[in-house]
Amino acid sequence: MRQLTYLGLLVACLLGTLPLELLLGVRVYARWRRLAAALVPGLVLGVAWDEYAVRHGHWHFDHRYLVGLDLAGLPLEEVLFFVVIPICAVLTLEAVARRRPGWLIGDEPPEAAEPDQPDQPNRPDRPDVATR
Amino acid sequence: MTYTWLVVGALLGAAACDLALLRTRLLTRRAFWTSYAIMFGFQLLVNGVLTGLGVVQYDPDTILGVRLAYAPVEDLGFGFALILLTLSCWVALGRRATGLPVRGGAARPVRAGPGRPAPPPAPPARRPPSPGSSPSDG
């Protein structure tokens, strides 16, 4: 069981944020192409940094807590970290944007609401959600 | 201190991406800081578990030694940079979907004006019903 510690933590992060997609309807996974593209820079830079840090002894992993699979010279879980945490971040931002439609995040079309207005009851749904 | 300086560089890089490169300006937005406040708690939890159990162990020479919930403060900076970079990319990519330039220009959304063609009217935005949607959000 101990080998599943790190992987389990990541799974817990995904399960914990899943209601944002399923119940709140943020449609982040539904826009999976945009999501995948948004993850690439963090994944590439993060893995490169991590690999460098491990090679130079900045940190190391206790393999008793890992499933034992390696990817790109790192434990599988450490690579997945750079996928899972950013996904949770996007879900959180979209959830906040959905609950507070007046708080713009910057991808709204020009006719969107004025910035930082309080909730506007009859405002149409967030515009970008209808594009895919 | 090596990790410390790398984190400072990453924070500056992510901020430059958000403010100058993609001009998503999330650092100036309430939605971003509210999201980060929510994530901050979970960040402490995840970092705390990883570091508290010793899943990840640090060379004391590469960090300041200041710890928050077991984890070096550097980890918070690392996470913040990762989150900011990703969200900046997410928003920039979303602009493409709404017909805006990927690289933002104006500090605030501007209406169509001289030299800026009006975008096509947005179709009536209605999410297709999904099985898990709560009745209140459709």
Number of domains observed in the structure of chain A = 2
Q: Same domain for A45 and A66?
A: yes
Whether B40 maps to a domain, the answer reads: yes
Q: Structure pTM?
A: 0.79
Q: Same domain for A79 and A129?
A: no
- Cα angle for residues A129, B79, B34 (degrees, 5° grid): 50
Number of domains observed in the structure of chain B = 1
Q: What is the 3-state secondary structure (H, E, C) of chain B?
A: CHHHHHHHHHHHHHHHHHHHHCCCCHHHCHHHHHHHHHHHHHHHHHHHHHHHCCCEEECHHHCCCCEECCEEHHHHHHHHHHHHHHHHHHHHHHHHHCCCCCCCCCCCCCCCECCECCCCCCCCCCCCCCCCCCHHHC
pLDDT of A59-112, one tens digit each?
A: 999 999 999 999 988 999 999 999 999 999 999 999 999 999 999 999 888 765
Q: Does B49 touch chain A (CB under 8 A)?
A: yes
Q: Same domain for A34 and A88?
A: yes
Residue A112: partners with Cβ closer than 8 Å, 6 or more residues away: A104, A127, B109
Whether B122 maps to a domain, the answer reads: no
Q: Same domain for A111 and A59?
A: no
CB contact under 8 A, A106 and B56: no
Q: Same domain for A62 and A80?
A: yes
Whether B110 maps to a domain, the answer reads: no
For B117-132, what is the mean pLDDT? 47
pLDDT of the residue at B103: 79
Of A6, A46, A115, the CB nearest to B108: A115
**pLDDT exceeds cutoff 70 at A11:** yes
Q: Same domain for A93 and A129?
A: no
Q: Which residues from chain B sit within 8 angstroms of residue A85, using beta carbons?
A: 46, 79, 82-83
**A96-107 b/e with 16+ CB inside 10 Å = b?**
bbbebbbbbbbb
Whether B135 maps to a domain, the answer reads: no
Enclosing domain of residue A129: 102-132
